[in-house]
Structure 1
């Protein structure tokens, strides 16, 4: 890890040993104060920086959930969840703090009630014995749109998942 400051990685430069075209996420944990964590995803790279932070990396086209929470002496000040698809070389992307270079943003919600609902929906997908990273990206956009509008999203179903798997197998 180099020593110069890079605000896009939360103050850390891109590690030299990270695979090319990997989407990197800087994670931090300080008990009771700040928590940046991956709720789901299949990282292909990991590097510990110190006892409070590490960097994980995701291969192009993989999907992951990044949860950020922070509090101060008066209570919670940040509660958000972002679900992203890691981008490949030359793809357009949205920037996001602590994510380098950025990603295809499928869901972006803040505020504990919405974050909590997304976490419950992730649990429901896992109850179907489906890894949430393998769920149809359109489902995460659906959840984003519905919760942003204040409407309850539909639950992800095994049938929806099977249709996504078939569609993915025949489309480039």
Structure 2
């Protein structure tokens, strides 16, 4: 058995998640990407304990990350939206500035998969990122449903328990 397989076996059975959609226009009724994120987490046996929509404002996103990291009910924070390069897109900066540890491989693999499977060279426009704030895993994906599905099914859902095992292994 490889060490990765061993780590996955030692990973927690349950992870409590908060889903956040970053958007200036979406509502709970029109938030297809947030709904998809919640659905895929729940289908994989994860618990969605919080859900919010927040405007793409640097300070609001930073505060939300601080709140999530301080909330004992939230172990993983998953954001979608605001990761592009348009002037209003501040999610990447807010997440980057809130992380204690980065997981650059998440963004790298996400962009590779996007390039290979989906959108070709336009993948360079994505600033998907991930890391750890305190003891909370943080994942930030683009807001399109296709990007959310790709990130969730190919990276986050398969590895979230393993990520939490690493964060909490000295507990």
Both proteins in one fold, TM over 0.5: no
Q: Which has the higher helix share?
A: 2
Larger Cα-atom Rg:
1
The higher-RCO structure (CA 8 Å, 6+ apart) is 2
> Shorter chain as normaliser: what TM range?
under 0.3
TM-score (norm 2): 0.26
TM-score (norm: length of structure 1): 0.26
Higher strand share: 1
